[in-house]
A and B are shown apart, each in its own frame.
Chain A
């Protein structure tokens, strides 16, 4: 099934054909998220999106366009002053009935988290608890979600996870500050994979790292995805990067999705002027051409949506 919104992001027939064969795993309908400040700010405006099993969906846009807020909303991680004004999020579990994510509470919500949908956060600098070891942090996911596992099993699984992402299992007893930035991010990815989730949301996972390390981590992610077939929502401002790795791309601007198409279509026949502007911003992220991406101030591309 394809997702369409009433105001409609720009799309193409190629896209419709592409998604016709795919099975959805996460559906968001008319999601609106607002920040309750004075005056209230609408960060995500009537967004509808479908993520399909095993695909990589890129979510692109400049700083402040709402992509991270949307991701947090999908995962029920909104913090005050953000509230979910409206919308539905449905998770189509491969092993069970559909789950209405918005209505989950308490233990059901905790069970859902990380098990079905996990997340790799922006800038792993601070995402690891500085005072406990990596072993304990990998372990407590297992203790909470798989209580039947014994200590040995947990350790074995933790070591296995580290190996999967290319980190020496001997680092299990290290602390966060003893690891380099790249290693920390890999540990975060390992942690996100611990329960074999069906969806992984990655929020700018490589932005704070240098290019070489970035390549390594991206390769890792692709490898893992091929092996375990989880879906990925990859959030970044780096549209050219998305062109390489994702199947479909959604371009966000000012809280709305302005274009939603396959990567090839976006590359070859981008329709929205904003998308074109984003595309033109590569390769240089320094200097004037790319500056608006960093500062989040786009004054040119006029709104052009089918209404």
Chain B
């Protein structure tokens, strides 16, 4: 028996390059990135090219027209200008709050999950409490005592009330990673804990972290919108939420000024959708079954159409016997349609 190059069985490559973890381009991912990119661009460039959002020199409640592409508010502010300025405000708050939430989630989630013991018990208790206490009422209580609220303060409040969800998810992942072979090996080899967490555990959590981060941003923007709508948002700044607050206060609904209150909400929704679509793509990395199952079902369908599947081909003789099967379609072999995508029928 010839001796081929005997290599030890390879352990799964853990610190694979970033490239291997990147999502594969797909329609959803592309759409999401375009949405996000466009809105971010709007936030950065918009305020430079639009009018002064705080200038009330214009006529009030003008419908969309050249010169005021989204009309004006009841006090004469240009809506498009406000929308651009609001984009900046909302995005700053959203991203900052996301960062705060993720940093806290790393502490309460990954560190707790890895260290276990009393540290874990204590941190988990705090996480649990913050998870269960309703977020918005708590934010309202805090915000109402503060007379002066800057963008950063609001971001901080949003981040602190939002870290618990990601923390729980990260913690369970960290716990399971802890017992993997390569982490145990690092421990036995005497690596210091911070280094193990930073070098062995974190990189493998990257897709999950990214997904939670994007999720946190969506929630933060929605949360800020809610707070601002209630009048508890950042003072003096313009965000999409403050626009909605002023819109309702200024009677936009009753006066039919749809151009005032529809765009801000739409922007929030579009940005949120973009982030969610990117999250989908990341989801498919974290849980490959989500991608593989429909791809598998699809390829089988195509094979059947091409007549490659023995089971599909025999449909022709039975098609006439089964009145419910449309003639000529190899897929409808008279079976219960809900069985198609799993075990063959």
Contacts and interface: CB of A to CB of B under 8 A. Distances in A.
Given a CB threshold of 8 Å, the question of whether A touches B is answered with yes
A47 to B, nearest CB: 14
Contacts of B343: 76-79
Nearest to B306: A36
A79 B342 contact: yes
B336 to A, nearest CB: 6
A48 B33 CA distance: 52
A83 B300 contact: yes
Contacts of B310: 83-87, 102
B241 to A, nearest CB: 43
Contact of B334 (A106, A299, A300): A106
Which of A105, A106, A277 is the most central at the interface, judged by chain B CB atoms within 10 Å of its CB? A105
A36 B344 contact: no
B335 interface: yes
A68 to B, nearest CB: 14
Interface in B262-299: 293, 295-297, 299
B318 interface: yes
A83 B311 contact: yes
B331 interface: no
B315 to A, nearest CB: 9
Interface stretch (B2-10, B132-140, B230-238, B244-252): B2-10
A39 to B, nearest CB: 12
A37 interface: yes
B28 interface: no
A295 to B, nearest CB: 6
B7 to A, nearest CB: 10
Given A83-B309, A85-B309, A86-B310, A106 B299 contact: no
Interface in A56-107: 76-87, 102-103, 105-106
A213 interface: no
A148 B303 CA distance: 41
A129 interface: no
B304 interface: yes
B345 interface: yes
Interface in A265-301: 277, 288, 291, 295, 299-300
A299 B297 CA distance: 33
Max count, chain B CB within 10 A of own CB: residue among A34, A36, A83, A109? A36
B308 interface: yes
B121 interface: no
Contact of B302 (A36, A106, A288): A36
A111 to B, nearest CB: 13
Given A79-B342, A105-B318, A106-B334, A84 B299 contact: no
Contact of B1 (A77, A102, A103, A300): A300
B314 interface: yes
B345 A109 contact: yes
Given A83-B304, A84-B311, A300 B299 contact: no
Contact of B345 (A105, A277, A300): A105
Contacts, number: 74
A105 B335 contact: yes
Contacts of A77: 343-344
B309 A84 contact: yes
A103 B310 CA distance: 9
Contact of B9 (A76, A86, A103, A291): A291
A80 B9 contact: no
A133 to B, nearest CB: 24
B219 to A, nearest CB: 31
B191 interface: no
B85 interface: no
A37 B344 CA distance: 17
Interface string B43-79: 0000000000000000000000000000000000000
B333 interface: yes
A106 B344 contact: no
B341 interface: yes
Given A36-B300, A79-B342, A106 B308 contact: no
A190 B334 CA distance: 33
A170 to B, nearest CB: 34
B309 A80 contact: no
A233 B342 CA distance: 24
Contacts of A300: 1-2, 4
Nearest to A295: B9
Interface string B207-238: 00000000000000000000000000000000
Given A36-B302, A105-B333, A81 B296 contact: yes
15 contacts: A36-B296, A77-B344, A79-B343, A80-B341, A82-B300, A83-B308, A83-B309, A103-B314, A105-B334, A105-B335, A106-B334, A106-B335, A106-B345, A109-B335, A295-B9
Interface of B: 1-2, 4, 6, 9, 293, 295-297, 299-300, 302-304, 308-311, 314, 318, 333-336, 341-345
Interface of A: 34, 36-37, 76-87, 102-103, 105-106, 109, 277, 288, 291, 295, 299-300
Given A36-B302, A79-B342, A83-B304, 12 more contacts: A36-B299, A79-B296, A79-B344, A82-B300, A82-B344, A83-B303, A106-B334, A109-B335, A109-B345, A291-B9, A295-B9, A300-B4
Closest 3 CB pairs of A and B: A80-B296, A36-B299, A81-B296
